[in-house]
Chains A and B, each alone.
Chain A
Amino acid sequence: MSVATAETGVTHEPTVPEQTSDGVAPRGVALSVALHLVLGTVFILGLPRLFAPPIPEELPVAVQLVTIAPETRATRPNPNAPRPNAKPDPPVADAPVTKPEPEPPVPAPVPPPSAETPLPPELVKPPEPKPAPPLPVLKPEPKPEPPKPTEKVEVPRPKEKPEPPQQMAKNESKAEQKKYDPGQFEALLKNLAAQPSAPSPDAPPQRPRVASAKPSSQPRAPLGSQLSASEMDMVREQIARCWNVPAGARDAKDLVVEIKVVVDPDGMVRQATIVDQTRLGGDPFFRAAAESARRAFFNPLCRPLHLPPEKYAIWKDLVVDFSPKDIL
């Protein structure tokens, strides 16, 4: 077996002995292996470029390190600050009205009635507000839905096809380029020092769409019987618009909220159930995030969901994973 291979110097090649033992011409096999090896090496390393000019050495590029600009933006509103209301709070530097309010009735925030009336000075030490045992449920709720666990939410749908949502969606689309740009969340963390690189609302840096690249988003189905990428994107965008993220919280990175959704043929979500019921009870932050995610499906902007009616069979049961990991 190793007779022939000795001269080619590839005795260590493990596949050779096996093949020769089968009785195939040993010399031919050895030659073939050798040639393949050569071919493989050439393939990996590439042909030597004997006559190519030497690659010019990278010249160091002079970079001027500039300290923080003396100009501040502290008094400028954070372009993407999460506060749409322009309440005239006295001399506050922050009234970012970057977001046109999409919802039809935009009531102004409450003027704090009598908020600042100082009480008589003898209120040195607050007596006893004595938090009486917090009533978990003040009185039995007149809402007997015994068969359903509390987490399953059924929302009675308006009888007729709701005009308002449609309209809102339209209004929304006008504002949405500005409002839901992907760079929004980086801008959430304001940093004066890094301000120059902060994304402007008009030219958001396109961040890689983590979610859309995920294979898990795609149902394994023959082509034609699954949602197209653009259909998927559309509903993803829509749900993202309905999800009011509890931002700025600790450990938000590790959080994934899984919600099972049952959708009616008209795109209305009939039921949205938080899957991880155990964590729902024990982790207040998870509960807040999970409920905010579930709320998304009952937001008028997501009623109905924009899904292709002819593919109802595919989307009548959805599992939606909400994860704020890209946000903080």
Chain B
Amino acid sequence: MTRNPLMFAGAVTAVLALLLHAVSPARAELRIDITRGKVEPMPIAIPAFSGSGGDENQTGQEIAGVISADLERSGLFRPLDPRSFIQNVSATDAQPRFGDWRQINAQGLVTGTVLTQGDGRLRVESRLWDVFAEQQLSGFGYTTTRQNWRRIAHIIADEIYKRITGEDGYFDTRIVYIAEAGSQAKRTKRLAIMDQDGANNRFLTDGRALVLTPRFSPTVQEITYLSYANGTPRVYLFNIDTGQQEVVGDFPGMTFAPRFSPDGNRVVMSRAENGVSNLYSLDLRTRQPTRLTTSQAIDTSPCFAPDGSKIVFNSDRGGSQQLYIMGANGGEARRISFGSGKYGTPVWSPRGDQIAFTKIDGGSFFIGVMHPDGSGERLLTRDFLVEGPTWAPNGRVLMYFRQSPSDSRGYGGSARLYSIDLTGSNQREVTTPQDASDPAWSPLLR
């Protein structure tokens, strides 16, 4: 009696299921899952920006060249050879002839105009087109002085990068580094700054005092670094606008390995005393120092997490040099590196998901990355000496320096800057007029 209704319900359900099953093919669309794709640079056409005459056309061509070079260097784009272009774009106003661009297999197209305004300044307008979809993806316009055209080009390249990849760009940035010259015995080291692509190189110090480990403030107007200006190595601040230098904190003894906090209000550094080094932070507004570690070891190379809550550093407190993480105000430290060899100069990625480091193992140097919990260690590059990783502001690209000895004993040779993609591909030299070491990448300038 109680079973019959149950049986009936069961039968009805079964019939319904069968019916549904039979009916569904008529309505269901065919579904296809794609979980693979190709990872290769996007072919993009960047014809010279058009102007109404001599100077404008020249600038338009140069802007397109800088955009091309920026995008190409990222490894994610493949600018097409202008000689292959079929359409001669003359004005951005007209819609491009997409067929012409499809034919040379351009997926993206960048067009632009350069116009001199009444006040002598340049008005640069640019559009990004999806050639396959035949639609405009974005358009932007900027006004600036004529000599500032490179920044406009970098900013446009950033916009294109962001629109196509979904991530922020890093082209409108600078690098501060140590320019080296002279023989090994009489080496001069100067603070230098340049655009991310190597242009606009400029020396900030005269080379009389040895300088090391420059770091950008988040505000981009200040650099902190180590200088032997008065014989003792001390941490200094350098204001790029005014050229002014000052010692950070009035500590006895030597201080080194400085780095700004993400808000720019503090500098963390190492201070050596009685054969041990401990970490200190200094509030730049109150000039009040705080001691962060009290170990009988060498604690150094502190670096804040992008949210300012933690500090990663390296220490030999456990016997060998390893990476540790602690709260931003000190406290207990947790070791995160457990591979073979020694780990140093940890740098937290601006997007927070990775920590880059230098590793010494088996007589070689490596640049690697790991997650902040110590997992997922990957070594990206190796050489006789690779050191000093620094992140592009989007956390996608690393720069470091590489020194190759000129003789078998490891002496001589030159130091050069290189950049590499987080995936470990696209390793490239960053050209500098002299030998270069200790690069530090600025945040986006805007």
Q: Is the interface of B mostly helix, strand, loop or mixed?
A: mixed
CB distance from B97 to the nearest CB of A (A): 12
From B62, B155, B351, give the contact of A114 (CB < 8 A): B62
10 A–B contacts from the bound complex (CB under 8 Å): A70-B363, A96-B425, A150-B135, A217-B31, A220-B25, A241-B38, A288-B164, A289-B166, A295-B107, A320-B32
Chain A, Cβ-Cβ closest to B48 = A113
A189–B32 CB distance below 8 A: no
In the complex, A125 Cα to B219 Cα: how many Å?
13
Chain B, Cβ-Cβ closest to A213 = B33
Asked if B95 is at the interface of the complex by the 8 Å CB criterion, the answer is yes
In the complex, A114 Cα to B431 Cα: how many Å?
14
Apart from A81-B425, A110-B46, A115-B197, 6 more pairs, CB < 8 Å: A126-B148, A127-B145, A249-B167, A295-B130, A320-B34, A322-B34
In the complex, A81 Cα to B420 Cα: how many Å?
12
With a 10 A CB-CB cut-off, give which of B162, B200, B396, B445 has the most chain A CB atoms: B200
With a 10 A CB-CB cut-off, give which of A68, A78, A91, A117 has the most chain B CB atoms: A68
Q: Interface size of A by Cβ–Cβ distance < 8 Å?
A: 128
A107–B81 CB distance below 8 A: yes
A94–B143 CB distance below 8 A: no
CB distance from A73 to the nearest CB of B (A): 8
In the complex, A109 Cα to B73 Cα: how many Å?
11
Asked if B144 is at the interface of the complex by the 8 Å CB criterion, the answer is yes
Contact A129:B167 (CB < 8 A) given known A84-B41, A295-B132: no
For B326, the chain A residues whose CB sits under 8 A away are: none
Per-residue CB proximity of B14-25 to A under 8 Å, as 1/0?
A: 000000010011
Asked if B187 is at the interface of the complex by the 8 Å CB criterion, the answer is no
Per-residue CB proximity of A173-213 to B under 8 Å, as 1/0?
A: 00000011010110011111110000000000000001100
B107–A240 CB distance below 8 A: no
Asked if B65 is at the interface of the complex by the 8 Å CB criterion, the answer is yes
CB distance from A215 to the nearest CB of B (A): 10
For B202, the chain A residues whose CB sits under 8 A away are: 121, 123-124
CB distance from B214 to the nearest CB of A (A): 16
B37–A327 CB distance below 8 A: yes
Contact A214:B33 (CB < 8 A) given known A70-B363, A116-B198: yes
For A85, the chain B residues whose CB sits under 8 A away are: 41, 72, 78
A129–B148 CB distance below 8 A: yes
From B37, B134, B429, give the contact of A322 (CB < 8 A): B37
Asked if B29 is at the interface of the complex by the 8 Å CB criterion, the answer is yes
Asked if A276 is at the interface of the complex by the 8 Å CB criterion, the answer is no
How many residue pairs bridge A and B at CB < 8 Å? 352
Q: Which candidate, B254-262, B273-281, B329-337, B380-388, is the interface stretch facing chain A? A: B380-388
For A194, the chain B residues whose CB sits under 8 A away are: 378
Asked if A267 is at the interface of the complex by the 8 Å CB criterion, the answer is no
From B34, B137, B150, B426, give the contact of A83 (CB < 8 A): B426
CB distance from A111 to the nearest CB of B (A): 9
A83–B25 CB distance below 8 A: no
Asked if B424 is at the interface of the complex by the 8 Å CB criterion, the answer is yes
CB distance from A181 to the nearest CB of B (A): 10
Contact A326:B353 (CB < 8 A) given known A94-B425, A190-B425: no
From A94, A113, A285, give the contact of B62 (CB < 8 A): A113
In the complex, A185 Cα to B103 Cα: how many Å?
29
Asked if B92 is at the interface of the complex by the 8 Å CB criterion, the answer is yes
Chain A, Cβ-Cβ closest to B73 = A89
From A156, A191, A318, give the contact of B29 (CB < 8 A): A318
Asked if B7 is at the interface of the complex by the 8 Å CB criterion, the answer is no
A99–B62 CB distance below 8 A: no
Per-residue CB proximity of A102-134 to B under 8 Å, as 1/0?
A: 011101111011111111010111111111111
B37–A190 CB distance below 8 A: no
Asked if B427 is at the interface of the complex by the 8 Å CB criterion, the answer is yes
Residues on B facing A (Cβ under 8 Å): 21, 24-25, 28-43, 46, 61-62, 65-66, 68-69, 72-73, 75-76, 78-84, 92-95, 102-105, 107, 125, 127, 130, 132-145, 147-148, 150-152, 155, 159, 162-167, 197-202, 221, 240-241, 339-340, 351, 353, 361-364, 366, 368, 377-383, 396, 416, 421-429, 431, 433, 445-446
Q: Which candidate, A24-32, A51-59, A139-147, is the interface stretch facing chain B? A: A139-147
Contact A155:B33 (CB < 8 A) given known A131-B446, A189-B424, A190-B425: no
CB distance from A16 to the nearest CB of B (A): 16
A190–B166 CB distance below 8 A: no
In the complex, A221 Cα to B426 Cα: how many Å?
47
In the complex, A193 Cα to B21 Cα: how many Å?
52
Per-residue CB proximity of A304-328 to B under 8 Å, as 1/0?
A: 0000000000110111111111110
In the complex, A192 Cα to B167 Cα: how many Å?
26
With a 10 A CB-CB cut-off, give which of A78, A96, A210, A317 has the most chain B CB atoms: A78
In the complex, A137 Cα to B139 Cα: how many Å?
6
A284–B162 CB distance below 8 A: yes
In the complex, A221 Cα to B217 Cα: how many Å?
63
B40–A321 CB distance below 8 A: no
In the complex, A130 Cα to B445 Cα: how many Å?
11
B82–A110 CB distance below 8 A: yes
For B423, the chain A residues whose CB sits under 8 A away are: 81-82, 188-190, 247-248
A245–B38 CB distance below 8 A: yes
For B135, the chain A residues whose CB sits under 8 A away are: 143, 150, 153
Asked if A268 is at the interface of the complex by the 8 Å CB criterion, the answer is no
From B30, B37, B80, give the contact of A240 (CB < 8 A): B37
Asked if A265 is at the interface of the complex by the 8 Å CB criterion, the answer is no
From B32, B66, B366, give the contact of A319 (CB < 8 A): B32
For A287, the chain B residues whose CB sits under 8 A away are: 166
